[in-house]
Amino acid sequence: MDKLIIKGGKELFGSVEIGGAKNAAVAVLPAAIMASKSICVIDNIPEIEDIQCEERIIESLGCKITRVKNSVTIDSTMLKSVKADTDDVRKMRASYYLIGALLGRFKKASVELPGGCPIGVRPIDQHIKGFEALGARVNIEHGTIIVEADRLIGTNIYFDVVSVGATINVMLAATLAEGTTVLENAAKEPHVVDVANFLNTMGANIKGAGTDVIRIVGVKELIGCNYSVIPDQIEAGTYMVAAAACGGSVTINNVIPKHLESISAKLVEMGAEVIELDDSVTVKSKKNLKGVNIKTLPYPGFPTDVQQPMSTLLCVSQGRSIINESIFECRFKHIDELKKMGAHIKVEGRIAIIDGVKKLTGAVVKASDLRAGAAMVIAGLIAEGSTEVTSIEHIDRGYPHIENKFKALGADIVRASQD
């Protein structure tokens, strides 16, 4: 296992390239296995552990995957098994997309219940409700979800909560159902739109992705295609927040500025400068920004995935900031680590009250989950002295080459073995 050692206090200057969106890629790869007669070539797939894990799972089903840099070719013409039960399935959240994909193509799936970041209960009742509404029988036995249908028939499904996972998963299955499915109260995240665009490129008939009503007219089969995944909104947001916290001027390239609006608006409210061009944003900051209040919400609201990095910035911003985490009930595990570095934070349920301090000081801290890890890296970058971030396997699940990207911006950060 590795750790990151950071000597804080350097301003950041220069530019950073953002990779493909993790949360889109982890759904696009399972969607690709729905092509029964030809291959998919997908570009801009990020080099992160969650993707490697998912590739191994897909190969275990009988698909052939080849990767050249960020381009992944998936040949699922020989796919035979509908059973995903390797250790990798339990390691990641998005393995649940194999349920929708296999159910769509084979009308049957047997997938171990997913793992992922420990940020809340994370039920999948809305996924199950959707599959059942399409006509599937769903059973959970010995930690495995088994879903079977004689036929999948399109219908109207109203989600009780706005869920990215349920929206995408049910959309996958409905793509190959008979007739029309209407998903209401659907998630509108950019990665939902990206997966719909990918499926449409494969021959699906999906309209309305990006709004809260998605209409899917089932088709008989999907065919392989070439596609490129959108840039990662959360990786971009993390570098924006880091630039605002460290001070300096950082241009974040290969982004869709529209996807970053809620983050840009908060940074501007705090006193940073954000310059948007067609496919880049530049964040300029003189540090000592003003504290603000944040409530995490489904897109286009402030993303819960950027809440943790943002809370580090608020620790060293002037005055009191209040964070309301409305999506996940346990997404404050990084707060105790920030306190070790001198932050003044009080957590009450889903609310964190942060009183800005002049500085954080280096300490040995843990990445308790993926985005918590990013929060601790930013804390290390701004702290006085040396910080060690341990358990960075969580960070590697979602941030490609994080230490190299920060080093290129002028940070003093190295990876070392934890042993």
Residue 405, CA distances (Å) to 46, 57, 121, 163, 270 in order = 14, 29, 33, 31, 25
309 annotated ligand binder: no
| Interface positions, 5-24, toward ligand UD1 (CB under 6 A) | 23
Sole binder of ligand UD1 in the list 9, 62, 118, 120 (CB under 6 A): 120
Residue 321 in the binding site for ligand UD1 (CB under 6 A): no
Sole binder of ligand UD1 in the list 11, 305, 337, 369 (CB under 6 A): 305
122 annotated ligand binder: yes
User: For ligand UD1, which is the closer residue by CB, 48 or 187?
Assistant: 187
DSSP class of 316: T
Q: How far is the CB of 200 from ligand UD1 (least distance, A)?
A: 19
18 annotated ligand binder: no
User: For ligand UD1, which is the closer residue by CB, 75 or 235?
Assistant: 235
Q: Is 386 helix (H, G, I), strand (E, B) or coil?
A: strand
**Residue 338 burial class via C-beta count within 10 angstroms: exposed 0-12, middle 13-18, buried 19 and up:** buried
User: For ligand UD1, which is the closer residue by CB, 124 or 413?
Assistant: 124
Residue 399 in the binding site for ligand UD1 (CB under 6 A): no
Q: How many CB atoms lie within 10 A of CB 187?
A: 24
User: For ligand UD1, which is the closer residue by CB, 10 or 127?
Assistant: 127
Number of chain positions touching ligand UD1 (CB under 6 A): 22
265: Cβ contacts below 8 Å, ≥ 6 apart: none
**Contact window for ligand UD1 (CB under 6 A) among 123-131, 265-273, 337-345, 352-360:** 123-131
| 315 belongs to the catalytic site | no
Residue 391 in the binding site for ligand UD1 (CB under 6 A): no
DSSP class of 302: B
126 annotated ligand binder: yes
Residue 216 in the binding site for ligand UD1 (CB under 6 A): no
Sole binder of ligand UD1 in the list 70, 76, 110, 126 (CB under 6 A): 126
140 annotated ligand binder: no
Contact at 8 Å (CB) between 41 and 228? no
| Interface positions, 86-115, toward ligand UD1 (CB under 6 A) | 93-94
Closest residue by Cα to residue 340 from 357, 318, 323: 357
Residue 309 in the binding site for ligand UD1 (CB under 6 A): no
Sole binder of ligand UD1 in the list 101, 103, 124, 378 (CB under 6 A): 124
305 annotated ligand binder: yes
What string of DSSP letters covers 24-90? HHHHHHHHHTTBSSS-EEEE-----HHHHHHHHHHHHTT-EEEEETTEEEEE-TT----EE-SHHHH
Task: Tell me which of 53, 63, 117, 225 is the catalytic residue.
Answer: 117
Residue 26 in the binding site for ligand UD1 (CB under 6 A): yes
| Start-end of H helices in 260-409 | 261-270, 304-315, 333-340, 370-382, 393-396, 402-408
Instruction: Encode 146-190 in three state secondary structure.
Output: EEECCCCECCEEECCCCCHHHHHHHHHHHHCCECEEEEECCCCCH
How far is Cα 243 from Cα 309, in angstroms, rounded to an integer?
11
- Binding track, positions 149-168, relative to ligand UD1; x by CB under 6 A: ------------x-xxxx--
Contact at 8 Å (CB) between 129 and 155? no
Residue with tokens 């996807």: 259
User: For ligand UD1, which is the closer residue by CB, 9 or 301?
Assistant: 301
124 annotated ligand binder: yes
Sole binder of ligand UD1 in the list 125, 221, 273, 279 (CB under 6 A): 125
How far is Cα 293 from Cα 339, in angstroms, rounded to an integer?
19
Residue 308 in the binding site for ligand UD1 (CB under 6 A): no
231 annotated ligand binder: no
Q: How far is the CB of 122 from ligand UD1 (least distance, A)?
A: 5
Residue with tokens 């608006």: 265
Residue 127 in the binding site for ligand UD1 (CB under 6 A): yes
**Residue 351 burial class via C-beta count within 10 angstroms: exposed 0-12, middle 13-18, buried 19 and up:** middle
Q: Is the dihedral of CA 305, 311, 313, 319 positive or negative?
A: positive
Residue 327 in the binding site for ligand UD1 (CB under 6 A): yes
User: For ligand UD1, which is the closer residue by CB, 124 or 149?
Assistant: 124
User: For ligand UD1, which is the closer residue by CB, 29 or 39?
Assistant: 29
Catalytic site positions: 117
- List, as residue ranges, the binding site for phosphoenolpyruvate: 22-23
- List, as residue ranges, the binding site for UDP-N-acetyl-alpha-D-glucosamine: 93, 122-126, 305, 327
* Interacting residues toward ligand UD1 by CB under 6 A: 23, 26, 93-94, 120-127, 161, 163-166, 187, 304-305, 327-328
